[in-house]
């Protein structure tokens, strides 16, 4: 069994990956700054850290730290000696990256380079797994978009994520660091608190608030349930054929925001949906990503459609007392 250090390990995706790794018998070190990127006053889930790790808190080795603090990061890596490092830590939201571009550059790019700098000096890390983003592609010229799609990011988030990929590949060529790159898309599910569109829609529906579809609701995203994302990450992390390779890890199907709202309305019939035709010209035009490479090389096989994912999301949240105020 392996020991995996997850930067951003207490985060939304990191918590699901941690749980799956523990179920498989691996050891988990969660390196996390425990930073709120969105005001906690905007979250209706006050105990989301506890909910994310319910039943496994004592099984995870939590280490507080910021990837921008290279000296502390080095100490933790030397103390814990992981053989896999999964790099999830980053300012996680595209809109925030555009508003706080300097923080995005240090959090996303400097943090990744610091992890690589430490790895180059040790001999026990067998693989560095870098979590990138489908935002690196910019406007999709081909749907589904394959991994070799042109890289033309349109915002700071996509640009810095792509820069992290370039540096990962550069460090690998120069210092022989084994790596894998993963490009997720529109990850959603219980205990996300960073105000992504899926979270806003689900929480508003349960609280009796309206939702707004910008751009007429025609924007398509490859919504991926967080458990499928976590499963794909782990498959890439351990598979020999994923070494020195990049993969789209998504559901593989594009759903429009209007389709998301329609599915949600089937469960919450009173949901009020407002449509605004104005759209953000800087938001890339996206849709489905090709996951054929991940299916063929590492056996990735996502299980949760958007219809099933929204149902699971609602089932979990309808049992939380916080939504009694609905």
CATH of residue 73's domain is 3.40.50.720
- 30: exposed, middle or buried (Cβ count in 10 Å: 0-12, 13-18, 19+): buried
The two beta strands, 255-256 and 220-221, are: antiparallel
251 closest CA partner among 267, 234, 227: 227
Question: In angstroms, rounded to a whole number, what is the distance separating the alpha carbons of residues 294 and 23?
Answer: 22
Model pLDDT, residue 165: 98
Q: Which of 289, 148, 158, 155 is nearest to 229 (CA)?
A: 289
Per-residue model confidence (pLDDT) at position 321: 61
Structure token pair of residue 235: 């498959």
User: 10 Å Cβ neighbour count for 313?
Assistant: 27
**Tally of structural domains, the chain:** 1
pTM to 2 decimals?
Answer: 0.92
Task: Give SS3 for 173.
Answer: helix
pLDDT per residue as tens, the chain (326 positions): 999 999 999 999 999 999 999 999 999 999 998 876 555 555 666 677 788 899 999 999 999 999 999 999 999 999 999 999 999 998 766 666 566 677 778 889 999 999 999 999 999 999 999 999 999 999 999 999 999 999 999 999 999 999 999 999 999 999 999 999 999 999 999 998 877 889 999 999 988 999 999 888 999 999 999 999 999 999 999 999 999 999 999 999 999 999 999 999 999 999 999 988 777 666 789 999 999 999 999 999 999 999 999 999 999 988 776 655 44
Name the residue range of residue 96's domain.
Answer: 3-325
Task: With beta carbons less than 8 A apart as the criterion, state whether 204 and 65 touch.
Answer: no
pLDDT at 97: 59
């Amino acid at each position: 069994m392996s020991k995996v250090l997850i930067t951003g390990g207490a985060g939304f995706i990191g918590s699901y990956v941690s749980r799956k790794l523990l179920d498989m018998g691996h050891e988990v070190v969660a390196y996390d700054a425990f930073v709120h990127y969105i005001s906690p006053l905007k979250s209706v889930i006050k105990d989301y850290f506890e909910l994310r790790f319910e039943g496994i808190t004592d099984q995870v080795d939590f280490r507080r730290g910021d990837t921008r603090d290279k000296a502390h990061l080095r100490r933790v890596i030397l103390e814990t000696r992981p053989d896999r490092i999964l790099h999830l830590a980053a300012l996680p939201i595209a809109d925030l990256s555009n508003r706080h571009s300097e923080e995005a550059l240090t959090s996303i790019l400097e943090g990744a380079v610091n992890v690589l700098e430490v790895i180059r000096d040790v001999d026990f890390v067998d693989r560095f797994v870098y979590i990138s983003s489908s935002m690196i592609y910019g406007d999709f010229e081909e749907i589904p978009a394959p991994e070799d799609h042109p890289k033309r990011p349109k915002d700071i988030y996509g640009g810095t994520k792509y820069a992290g990929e370039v540096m990962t590949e550069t460090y690998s060529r120069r210092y022989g660091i084994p790596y894998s790159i993963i490009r997720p898309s529109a990850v959603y599910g219980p205990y996300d608190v960073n105000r992504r569109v899926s979270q806003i829609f689900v929480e508003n529906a349960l609280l009796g608030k309206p939702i707004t579809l910008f751009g007429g609701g025609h924007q398509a995203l490859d919504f991926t349930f967080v458990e499928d994302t976590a499963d794909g990450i782990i498959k890439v992390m351990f598979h020999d054929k994923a070494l020195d390779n990049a993969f789209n890890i998504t559901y593989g199907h594009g759903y429009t925001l209007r389709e998301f709202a329609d599915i949600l309305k089937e469960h919450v019939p009173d949901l009020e949906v407002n449509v605004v035709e104005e759209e953000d010209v800087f938001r890339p035009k996206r849709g489905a990503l090709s996951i054929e490479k991940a299916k063929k090389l590492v056996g990735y096989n996502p299980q949760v459609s958007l219809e099933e994912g929204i149902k699971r999301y609602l089932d979990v949240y309808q049992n939380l007392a916080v939504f009694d105020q609905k």
